[in-house]
Amino acid sequence: MIREIDSAQGAWLMVDGRRALNLCSNNYLGLADDIRLKDAAKAAINRYGAGPAAVRPIAGSLTLHRELEGAIARFKGVEAALALQSGFMANLGVIPAVVADGDFIFSDELNHASIIDGCRLSRAKTVRYAHADTDDLEKKLKVTPGRGRRLVITDGVFSMDGDIAPLPEIVEVARRYNAMVMVDDAHGEGVLGRDGRGAADHFRVRVDIEIGTMSKAFGVVGGYVAGSRDLIAMLKQNARPFLFSSASTAADTAACLAAVHILEDGGGLVARLWENAKYFQGRMRAAGYDLGRTQTPITPVMIGDAAKARELSDRLFDEGVFAQAIGFPTVAEGKARIRCMVSAAHTKEDLDFAVDAFIKAG
């Protein structure tokens, strides 16, 4: 069941007509309702209007699009970036532009659905390797014919379990077998690395392609790809979502730009997020809940049985906590869970309220 929201995203929401503590949102840093983003969006509408009117190669790029791409490139520490309509669109655009029939993709078995769909569209041969297992990755690379391009793809942070990809080992193995490395850092940016610069920055490693979204820690909507100037120049000629789908609106783009500037300036939001996550996870474990293998603020409360997970979610809602159950096919059968998302916007009192509700409902 998809519940109805009648308020801005924040620590608390109006859900199905009642006030509830929000543990469902990917709004890691609480920026979705930040006044600075809202003011930037309003000013952009007043200057540029409501819609982009056409695709960028035909109607042109807004000054805001160029400014956002420059800010993302600086923030990620790369030569260039390209803004797209969503993180999903970024994967659908980049993967088929980089590899094709006759090439090989090596994909973590728990990669996001947008990666899976991008691989299918590319027509390259996709080889799945065991989750976060670089030994298995190397075995697959070793036995694969040497002809064609090779692309290793992994999530930076896995959204259902909260664990982090072993990027240093992945990069090392890929280099030995002349393979490119692409990271979808949707859940790493704003969370890992210096002031939230992401998983690659967290490990101080360089990858060939970074995919990101503006809809989680940045609090808006949109996607991007970051990498070399040559990569971005090629994508402007070959990434179909860029070529054939209208650009992000001025309001969204301006709000995204404001969010990047906030992270560039620091300010403690990332530290507050981690402080809240450690506090909540510590109390939940003390209450006897299994949180799986998480290494990040993503907090999967492992239940197993899908019906029991749904029942617990309903009981939590009765207690004033919005925390949805997740089951098959989003996760494997028998691994249903309540996926809790802690935010920098939560207070300690909010988190205590949530844990007490879990204890009562459980």
Which CATH number fits the domain that encloses residue 257?
Answer: 3.40.640.10
Residue 219: the pLDDT is: 97
C-beta of residue 240 within 8 angstroms of C-beta of residue 55:
no
**Euclidean distance between CA atoms 337 and 358, whole angstroms:** 13
- If we measure between CA atoms, which residue out of 60, 87, 47 comes closest to residue 246? 60
Residue 224, beta-bridge partner list: 83, 212
Residue 216: the pLDDT is: 97
Mean pLDDT for the stretch of residues 318-336: 94
> Which residues are marked as active site?
159, 187, 216
Over residues 20-35, the pLDDT tens digits come to 999 999 999 999 999 9
Are residue 176 and residue 142 in the same domain, yes or no?
Answer: yes
Domain boundary among the residues 222, 249, 264 is at 264
CA-CA-CA-CA dihedral for 212, 218, 219, 222, to nearest 10: -40
Are residue 288 and residue 227 in the same domain, yes or no?
Answer: no
Q: Considering the entire predicted model, what is its pTM?
A: 0.94
**Euclidean distance between CA atoms 156 and 202, whole angstroms:** 10
Residue 2: the pLDDT is: 87
Has residue 5 been placed in a domain?
no
Range of the domain at 305: 12-28+268-361
Has residue 216 been placed in a domain?
yes
Are residue 236 and residue 281 in the same domain, yes or no?
Answer: no
Has residue 303 been placed in a domain?
yes
Tell whether the model's pLDDT for residue 1 goes beyond 80. Answer: no
Bridge-based pairing of strands 223-227 and 80-84 is: antiparallel
Tell whether the model's pLDDT for residue 53 goes beyond 90. Answer: no
Residue 321, beta-bridge partner list: 21
Taking CA 158 as the corner, what is the angle to CA 317 and CA 14, rounded to the nearest 5 degrees? Answer: 25
**Euclidean distance between CA atoms 260 and 207, whole angstroms:** 21
Are residue 188 and residue 283 in the same domain, yes or no?
Answer: no
Taking CA 47 as the corner, what is the angle to CA 41 and CA 50, rounded to the nearest 5 degrees? Answer: 60
Give 57-61 contacts, CB < 8 A, sequence gap 24+: 57/236, 57/242, 57/243, 59/247, 61/247
Domain boundary among the residues 242, 264, 286 is at 264
Residue 54: the pLDDT is: 87
Has residue 7 been placed in a domain?
no
Residue 159: the pLDDT is: 94
Mean pLDDT for the stretch of residues 338-350: 97
Has residue 1 been placed in a domain?
no
**Euclidean distance between CA atoms 39 and 35, whole angstroms:** 6
Has residue 3 been placed in a domain?
no
**Euclidean distance between CA atoms 39 and 257, whole angstroms:** 12
pLDDT above 70 as % of the chain: 100
Q: With 0-12 CB in 10 A as exposed, 13-18 as middle and 19+ as buried, what is 347?
A: exposed
Residues of the chain by 3-state class (helix, strand, coil), percent to 5: 45, 20, 40
Sign of dihedral through CA atoms 228, 233, 239, 244?
Answer: positive
Has residue 351 been placed in a domain?
yes
Are residue 63 and residue 181 in the same domain, yes or no?
Answer: yes
Mean pLDDT for the stretch of residues 130-135: 98
We report the CATH number of the domain holding residue 295 as: 3.90.1150.10
**Euclidean distance between CA atoms 245 and 79, whole angstroms:** 25
**Euclidean distance between CA atoms 325 and 122, whole angstroms:** 33
Are residue 116 and residue 144 in the same domain, yes or no?
Answer: yes
Question: Which of 50-64, 195-209, 210-224 has the weakest average pLDDT?
Answer: 50-64
pLDDT-based confidence at residue 283 (cuts at 50, 70, 90): very high
Are residue 45 and residue 136 in the same domain, yes or no?
Answer: yes
Are residue 240 and residue 286 in the same domain, yes or no?
Answer: no
Residue 294: the pLDDT is: 97
**Euclidean distance between CA atoms 209 and 188, whole angstroms:** 14
Q: Report the mean per-residue pLDDT for the chain.
A: 96
Q: Tell me the H-state helices in the chain.
A: 35-48, 56-59, 63-76, 87-98, 113-122, 134-143, 167-176, 199-203, 229-238, 240-244, 250-264, 269-286, 306-318, 348-361
Q: How many structural domains is the chain composed of?
A: 2
Residue 226: the pLDDT is: 98
Tell whether the model's pLDDT for residue 14 goes beyond 90. Answer: yes
Over residues 217-269, the pLDDT tens digits come to 999 999 999 999 999 999 999 999 999 999 999 999 999 999 999 999 987 99
Per-residue DSSP letter, 33: G
Are residue 252 and residue 139 in the same domain, yes or no?
Answer: yes
Has residue 150 been placed in a domain?
yes
Are residue 254 and residue 285 in the same domain, yes or no?
Answer: no
Contacts (Cβ under 8 Å, ≥6 apart) of 329 = none
Are residue 127 and residue 76 in the same domain, yes or no?
Answer: yes
Looking up tokens 């969010």, which residue turns up? 259
Are residue 178 and residue 278 in the same domain, yes or no?
Answer: no
Tell whether the model's pLDDT for residue 147 goes beyond 90. Answer: no
Domain boundary among the residues 243, 264, 285 is at 264
10 Å Cβ neighbour count for 5?
A: 16
Mean pLDDT for the stretch of residues 173-200: 96
